Each structure stands twice: as C-alpha cells, then as structure tokens.
Amino acid sequence: MSTPSVASLTVIENLTRGTVIADRAEVARSLLARGRGLMGRTNLPAGYGLILVPESSIHMFFMRIPIDVLFVDRQHRVIGVREALPPWHPFAGVAPWRGHYVVELPVGAIRASGTEVGDKLRVTPGI
C-alpha cells in the first residue's frame, strides 16, 4: 500500500472515551485492498489505522507483525476487540450480519485509547 496523501487521511475517534484511536488512517474499500490489508508490512507507525469496509472478519495469513483489531457495526459501536492478534492466526471476526467494518491498528493502540466493546466511534471523513 502506498502512503496516503495528506488530503486522504482519516481520523478515528472514540467518542465514549474522548480519545483518538488513529489520526492517520486509510480506508480499504475494494475486494483487493481489503484482502491485501496489511500483508507485507514490517511495522506500523503510531497513529496509523486501516479501515476495511465493508468487512466483519479478517485473517492473519502472510502477516509479519501482530496487530490490534476493532470490529464495528453500522452504528459505529465497537462489537469486538482483539489485542495483539498474532501473525498467521487463521481468522477473527464477528457475525456477518453484525459487523460493518474492521479497524486494524498497531499493537497497543486499543489499550492506549481505552477502547472497549460498546464504545461509540467517529470516523472523519465518514465512510
């Protein structure tokens, strides 16, 4: 994936906790972009996030690093949290009728933002 331009940056906020989860996020909408996700990355900078939309599950095949993952519904409520999901973990997700998008983050981002199941998020610009 290429580095996003300044104009294309997306911010993910946790409205429940009053924290910023990611201030330099990208959005992956196409089947190819969602399937590729973060494969091949050897690190993620602090403040980075990748939003996979529409999506309710992920795989960690061919990943080189662990990541934090949020599963979010159509009302932008966190419905699943996975911290430090290891590379090569087969699948993680929520029921397809519940999940709308997935946020992949550097390890520690969930803890740093205090994000928990039930929290309300805001994505700017909207997805």
Domain of residue 24 covers 6-124
- We report the CATH number of the domain holding residue 84 as 2.60.120.1140
Q: Is residue 107 part of a domain?
A: yes
pLDDT beyond 80 at 7: no
SS3 assignment, position 111: helix
Please tell me the total count of domains within the chain. Answer: 1
8: confidence class by pLDDT, cuts 50, 70, 90: low
Mean pLDDT, the chain, rounded, equals 92
Which residues fall within 8 angstroms of residue 101, CB to CB, at 6 or more apart? 51, 52, 53, 54, 55, 72, 127
In a domain, 1, yes or no: no
Highest mean pLDDT among 34-48, 86-100, 111-125: 111-125
Q: Which pTM does this prediction carry?
A: 0.91
**Residue range 52-74, pLDDT digits in tens:** 999 999 989 999 999 999 999 99
Tell me how far the alpha carbon of residue 79 is from its chain's centroid. 13
* The predicted structure's pLDDT at residue 112: 98
Instruction: Report the distance separating Cα 68 and Cα 22, nearest Å.
Output: 12
pLDDT of residue 99: 95
Nearest to 106 by CA among 57, 41, 54: 41
> What is the C-alpha separation between 126 and 14, in angstroms, rounded?
14
- In angstroms, the CA 60 to CA 38 distance is 9
